[in-house]
Structure 1
Amino acid sequence: MDFDQPPVLRVEAADRSVLPARGWPVDIPGVAQVVEDGLTLGKGVTFLVGENGSGKSTIVEAVAAAYGLAPEGGSTGSQHATRRTESALGDALVVRRGLAASRWGFFLRAETMHGWYSYLESLGDDDVRFHEMSHGESFLAVLETRFNGKGFFCLDEPEAALSFTSTLGLVAVLQRVVAAGGQVLCATHSPVLAAMPGARILEVGHWGLREAEWADLDLVRHWRAFLAAPERYLRHL
């Protein structure tokens, strides 16, 4: 019997009645595919890469919620919430957990972390003074202090606050998480982050979700073309 399983083996739709028959989010191909076919997660890191509106953040948010993480970010058991904006997808999904795997987890959601810092202050649990740091410094502090152990870690566009060098630092953090037996699901626009060795990449678009190699990503092709000749893009603005 395999006792070395990751926290999440698979995510499936268990209660479709909470979802609308049509409209957002079920009319997004990537979301529809998760609802119909489920999503199997392997060990290590899985990146969801795609354009704005492709559904990658909606999927990560829903998987985090189904695991028991607050949709606005935080660790397992966090009750931080301000205004509900998440879809009903998280209520529809159920997580198939790994045998004897950790239930610890953390959801780093770029757009709501400021509120989470305030939530910690209100609890008197601000052992790290996140509000006294720059945006990027606070993100790195979260990664260094909360991303540990064999838990399940969700990230939604973490590169939003990070410089090129800090993004490389994030890759190093994720490598340490994997080495410790942790599991990661991350939505990103960063070709630097998606280049992490050994990571699985799912490209999200009008086709739904598909396995992809880093060099074949639209994201990578566009960045390469732009950096080679930015004027080709900028003259059309």
Structure 2
Amino acid sequence: MFYWLMKYIVIGPITKAIWRPWIVGRRNVPADGAAILASNHLSFVDSIFLPLMIDRPVSFLAKSDYFTGKGLKGWATGMFFKMTGQIPIDRSGGKASEASLNTGLQVLGRGDLLGIYPEGTRSPDGRLYRGRTGLARMALEAHVPVVPVVMVDTDTMLPIGTHWPRIVRVGIVIGEPLDFSRFEGMEGDRYILRSVTDEIMVALQRLGEQEYDDVYASTVKDRLKGPRAPRSTKPVVAAAPID
């Protein structure tokens, strides 16, 4: 109920009127049944615009920090994430990673859509980075397709480190579902998981034409603890009309 209230009555109409988001490939999202929406990750608002622009609810795995902030701002942020169907996870690794995997599998087991950012964190500079293999493991264990999604200009709208969004038109490009049924029963093979993950990242790179760097985004962020890296000048994709 909260999800539909936010999407159609509160957040949805206001957001669409201000930023006029466009979408291409909406019909590539399965009309029913479980699937993973694997998206590049440019901005905090990616998890807002994607659910607004498709016809089915999407559950995102969001870091638990978003739900436990202090003060009025922390409470408001946590409430917003809960009302938009996002699920808190611990991203500290080890047993927490296994718990996150199980949480995602529960969503898929219900026949729902699960949104995942395979890079694991927001891109620090607009490039596309190496994917984490947890996505592949979920897809193979749940026997579901993976739908590549490219967010466009959300980092221009709300760059990392800023608090107030700019009035910039943002977009979404959705590619055709990827079928990995040929790897059924191989979810325990780390080489297969890396191969599947790389195939997903190639699909994302071709769909959005982002510059690709075969290192983890978290590694780059660790290197940039001081000054920020220059943003990539290559556009993700050109603006396109709603289909």
Question: TM-score scaled to structure 1, two decimals?
Answer: 0.41
Question: TM-score scaled to structure 2, two decimals?
Answer: 0.40
Q: Which has the higher strand share?
A: 1
